Structure formats: C-alpha cells, structure tokens
Amino acid sequence: MAIGEYLHRKKIPCGQASDVTMFKALAERHHAMLSKRATTAYKKKVDDGRVAALPPKAQAFLMAVGWSEDRFLSAYAACFGIMGKPRIMAKEWLSKALTARLLAISGLSWALDSKNRGCDWEHFASAASVEMALVELYRKKLLLESAPARALHKDLHDLFLSWVTNQVQIPSDGGSGLMIVQCWEFADNIYIQASEVEELHPDFTKIRIAWEAATGTSKVLKQKVKKAPKDSIEAMLDGLKSNKYLQCLDQEEASVGTLESLSVFAISILGHVVLWTV
C-alpha cells in the first residue's frame, strides 16, 4: 500500500508501452549496424524516403520517461550484446548495463542461431529497454523516499541471497587461493545499505489512510446516504414481488391452485400485516 500510495502521489506514468512494436523505427536504426548488407539496405531506404517515423505513442513514452532516441538505442544495443552468447552467466546477471541485466534474469528464450536477429530479437530487446526506462524513472526515488519500500527491498534481497548457491572466485586483490562467495542483486542495480533500513514495523493504519487518500478509495469519500432500514416483513414482501418465478401480482391473472395464486394470496396477507401492524 505504501508503494502504491507513493506511485499515485508522484503520478508515475504507467501502462504507456503495452505494444513494444511502436519502437520498430528505432530498432531498424540499430539493425542497420549489424552488418554491411544491413547498412546498405537501410541507407537505400533512407534515400528512397521509406523509413518510417517514430509513432506519436513512442514519442510520448520517451518524453514521459525523459529519454532521447539515442538513449533508447544505447539500451537496445546492450541487449543485443548478450543475446548472441551461448550461455547467460553471472557476468550478465550482474551486468552494469541495466537492460542486459533485466534480459538476463527474465527467463526468456530466443533463437540463439537466428539468421535474422533484427527481426527475431527485436521484441525482447525493446521490452527490456522499456522496462529499464520505467525502472530508472521511479525505482531509486521510491527506495530513497519510502521507508516501507526500503524494508521490503532488503527483506527480499536477503531471502533471494539465502537461496543462492556458493560460487568459487579468484580473489580480486591478487591473493592466492580461491574464495567461496554468495552474490545476488536485484535487476534494478540499486543497492540499499542495511543502515538505511528502519527496523521499526510499519504503521499499517497510516499507510492505509494515505493509500485511500491518494487513490480516492476512502469509505468516507464514497459514503452515500443510507436508506431507512425496512421492516423484516416488508423486506420479505418486496423479495416475493421481485422474485422472477412469482411475477403474477394480480389475483385475476393467477389460475386457481397454481403457485402464482398461492404467491398472490401470501403477498396480500403480508401486505395487510405490514400496513396494519403498530
């Protein structure tokens, strides 16, 4: 709730890139650098005026996250930098390039030996680039400004770290022998020091009040004028009248001995009780 309240209060853009194919024009610019043949083909398209412009939706997204087209291309290229590797290892999982890291831990699979990488890998690289833009937009500010978010971030980090298998590494300081280490980091590449996390339990009442105020879901805001409570017999009478199987309310329309005639009789008695009871 605290995270949701923060995102609502800060008006963090969301849901603006449901279709990553809108970045196809930028993807084609990158694909033109994959080979001499691709470069020649793209140059011919430029000369012929056949290169599509970036759609308004894509332009609006880049403006919302504060990215330039070159920034998107840089993130996109980082994905292609790891997608051709036969195995994704710890180096890619802990890459300083956020898009590469996001893609490495995503669990997605792609055609490693594709003969048309520009077409086959485009959706994966575009999705990772869009995710990176959104993460950079709010994640660090969220962790710095929201104590509950920091606490959750640390708890999840400690949990995932406890599941990691030991790895053997050569000491970086040039020492002899091998080191047994455990290493795990979030894909957002943001590390929170233990000293920055408050040990106090969050006040869920205050969090809920802030959430309701930010999202407009407070019961006080939505409170409506209540109708006067009905008498139990009157409520039963209304229920019988609205029952789709007992729709006949006129004695003249009800055949003698039928369920409809019994319901009309019962309704008339109950109505009499309601009217004359004091």
Confirm if 249 and 267 have CB atoms less than 8 A apart.
Answer: yes
Query: What residues contact residue 63 under an 8 Å CB cut-off, 6+ apart?
Result: none
Q: Is 275 exposed, middle or buried (0-12, 13-18, 19+ CB in 10 A)?
A: exposed
Confirm if 184 and 194 have CB atoms less than 8 A apart.
Answer: no
Maximum CA extent, the chain? 104
Integer Cα distance of 51 and 28 in angstroms? 9
Question: Which amino acid is residue 251, in one-letter code?
Answer: Q
Q: Residue 129's pLDDT band (boundaries 50, 70, 90)?
A: very high
Most confident of 97-106, 139-148, 211-220, 269-278: 97-106
Integer Cα distance of 116 and 269 in angstroms? 81
Instruction: Record the tokens describing residue 157, joined without a space.
Output: 């980090």
Q: Residue 52's pLDDT band (boundaries 50, 70, 90)?
A: confident
Interval 41-58 mean pLDDT: 82
The lowest-confidence range among 73-77, 95-99, 130-134, 183-187 is 183-187
* Of 249 and 62, the one with more pLDDT: 62
Strands 167-169 and 179-181 come out as: antiparallel
Interval 87-104 mean pLDDT: 84
Pick left, alpha or beta for residue 240 (phi over 0 → left; psi -120 to 50 → alpha; otherwise beta): alpha
